[in-house]
Amino acid sequence: MLRALQLMLPEATLRIVQETPWHSLTFAGTQICICAGLQDARGENAQQFAKDLPDHEFELSSQFVADIAVTEARFDTGQHSLVIDALILDN
């Protein structure tokens, strides 16, 4: 997942903040919270990334991205951070 996000936002520093197993009656997977740190004075790339992320088609070998979104964004002068929450299901 981190590699796929890194391809979308190559200038970001990504780290997993929390990873929790997730189960329903029919599916199993993982809830992941990722922080993306960026050094971009205008934040245009981060804003476009946040807009495009929910509709992006990820190609993961043994997993399916059921839900993903930027749930928090901070745009300060020269330093930006995004919090990305995702639900990834096992195939």
Query: Could you report the per-residue pLDDT of 1-33, keeping only the tens digit for each?
Result: 999 999 998 889 999 999 999 999 999 999 999
pLDDT in tens, 52-74: 999 999 999 889 999 999 999 88
Q: Tens of pLDDT along 29-49? A: 999 999 999 876 556 778 889
Residues 8-45 as b/e (b if ≥16 CB within 10 A, e otherwise) read ebeebebeeeeeeebeeeeeebbebbbbbebebeebeb
**What is the pLDDT at residue 43?**
67
82 pLDDT exceeds 90?
Answer: yes
